[in-house]
Amino acid sequence: MFEISDGILDGHPIIEWAEHTVDSQLGFFFYLSTSQVASIEEFRNSGDLKKSIWLSGVVDYEGKQNDFYDKDDYVISKQQWLEALAAMKYKDTLFFELYMPMDNEPEDENVKILLERAQNHILNGHYQETIGLCRQAIEFVEKVRKDKNVASKAAKKYIDSRKEMDVLERMLFLREGLKNVTQLGAHHSKEFSRQQAQAILGMTVALLSSPEVGIKK
């Protein structure tokens, strides 16, 4: 079962039917945030979207009140759902889920602070500082994971025998390459553009959201 949300409309509006109504339809709108749609996509897992809707309330008829409860299951085909995603322009944005630690995990909290500062620097036009903070985030993850030497070996293996590299080694090589780019953030003689800073921050978030080379869940 996948639950999006539940709630009660403000004001509790009353739905009324005329005395001789024999067939009526009601429409309901569900407003979903980007993160909720992303959660649905994870649940859908590239297949059809299967969902259940519960409806409950109180019916007042001729002075008597009766509770009602109903549940129906619906299946939205993969093609229909993809068309809906396109219509809502969801595919225009890529969404990455970056794990952030709980209150009892103070060490990883530093990554959150570093990336928040990096994003704020972009908003203020400080692109060099954004790059430097991305490097600090990568170096912090290396320290927590204790895999700096493993990443260095993966980079060397790319030069010597890249065809023998497995997926993890290639992802470590990607992180090592990104760290190499962010090294220029410490040299103020090298200026980055807004687009470059955004791209590097996006790549940093994408890699650090991977449990293999980023923050462990």
Tokens 């290639």 appear where?
170
| pTM exceeds cut of 0.75 | no
Using CA atoms, how far apart are residues 204 and 217, in angstroms rounded to an integer? 17
Q: What are the residue ranges spanned by the domains of the chain?
A: 1-95, 106-208
Give the residue-averaged pLDDT of 26-37. Answer: 75
Q: What does the pLDDT look like over 42-57, one tens digit per residue?
A: 788 788 988 888 888 8
CATH of domain 106-208: 1.20.120
Q: Which residues pair with 174 in a beta bridge?
A: none
Do residues 165 and 154 make contact, with C-beta atoms less than 8 angstroms apart?
yes
